[in-house]
Amino acid sequence: MTQTTAESPARRQRAQIKERTLRTDQWWRYPLVTFLIFTAFLVYATWTLFDSSYFAAPYIAPFSSPCLATSCPEGARLFGLAPFGDWYTLSPSLLILVLPAGFRFTCYYYRKAYYRGFWLSPPACAVNEPHSKYSGESRFPLILQNIHRYFFYAAILIGLVLAWDAVLALVEKPLGLGTLILVINAVFINLYTLSCHSCRHITAGRLNHFSKHPVRYRAWGFVSKLNAKHQQLALISMFTVMGADLYVRLVAKGIVNFPFA
């Protein structure tokens, strides 16, 4: 008898279960909480595009850094640079926000989270999704998620800029609460970036012999440890960047105003 490994169309069909799910736990909590937190983050990030209180020397709000527009205050400009001419009159945040936003939007963890929380595709393991078709990320538009590996390089630059901002704050206001907040944020942003799956691949992907590349092997080992905590770092860094940004804006608006601010 001839055997074939190809599955018959009948076997490829999903199990015909009338119930949406047989799960009895509170599976809906994860997508619901994800939806609420991410929506709050998106609303906040959108608001920052229209808020001009992003600089309270020596602090600069992370969502507006690097500040590259001519309208940026002198001390807020990265190395004093203003590469865009006077013609650019929109928010400085608009110039750069696409880079960290694109990095997070295409991140493997965030993809899983918002596919579940926003598109319900699927909302949870073993819970039927409302969509009748599924093409995954193999076709347009979701195939564009592959751009993540390029956003990674931009995220490295943004991470370095935020670290630089923290160092400047440390030098000019070593005892400031804002300095502490910016330092913590820079640490978590960079840990999140380094824990990226693309970073892990860059350090040692396609290597056949670790023994011939000891430096890359060590880098891979370090990144792999971070990578195991990628989800946690993605969430923690989201809160630290939002918290740091809000804190600087509150100082800039004069709402937070005490000696060690």
Q: Name the site residues for ligand FES (rule: CB under 6 A).
A: 107-109, 148, 196-198, 230
The nearest distance, CB 25 to ligand FES, in angstroms, is 27
Which residues, including other chains, have CB under 8 Å from residue 77's CB and lie 6 or more apart?
66, 67, 68
- Count of beta carbons in the 10 Å neighbourhood of residue 44: 14
With H, G, I as helix, E, B as strand and everything else as coil, classify residue 178: helix
With H, G, I as helix, E, B as strand and everything else as coil, classify residue 190: helix
Given the complex with ligand FES, which of 152 and 247 has the nearer CB atom?
A: 152
**The tokens of 261 are what?**
């601010």
Given the complex with ligand FES, which of 62 and 176 has the nearer CB atom?
A: 62
**The tokens of 84 are what?**
């865009």
The nearest distance, CB 207 to ligand FES, in angstroms, is 19
Distance CA 47, CA 96 (A): 15
The nearest distance, CB 109 to ligand FES, in angstroms, is 5
Task: Please compute, for residue 259, the number of CA atoms within 13 A of its CA located in the half-sphere on the CB side.
Answer: 0
Query: Among 165, 168, 212, which residue's Cα sits nearest to residue 185?
Result: 165
Let me know if 50 is exposed, middle or buried by CB neighbors in 10 A (0-12, 13-18, 19+).
exposed
Given the complex with ligand FES, which of 108 and 222 has the nearer CB atom?
A: 108
The nearest distance, CB 111 to ligand FES, in angstroms, is 8
Given the complex with ligand FES, which of 124 and 238 has the nearer CB atom?
A: 238
The nearest distance, CB 182 to ligand FES, in angstroms, is 21
The nearest distance, CB 200 to ligand FES, in angstroms, is 9
Given the complex with ligand FES, which of 160 and 168 has the nearer CB atom?
A: 160
Q: Give the DSSP per-residue string, 195-218.
A: T-HHHHHHHHTT-S-GGG-HHHHH
Given the complex with ligand FES, which of 112 and 131 has the nearer CB atom?
A: 112
Given the complex with ligand FES, which of 197 and 213 has the nearer CB atom?
A: 197
The nearest distance, CB 76 to ligand FES, in angstroms, is 27
**The tokens of 121 are what?**
């595709």
Cα–chain center distance at 152: 10
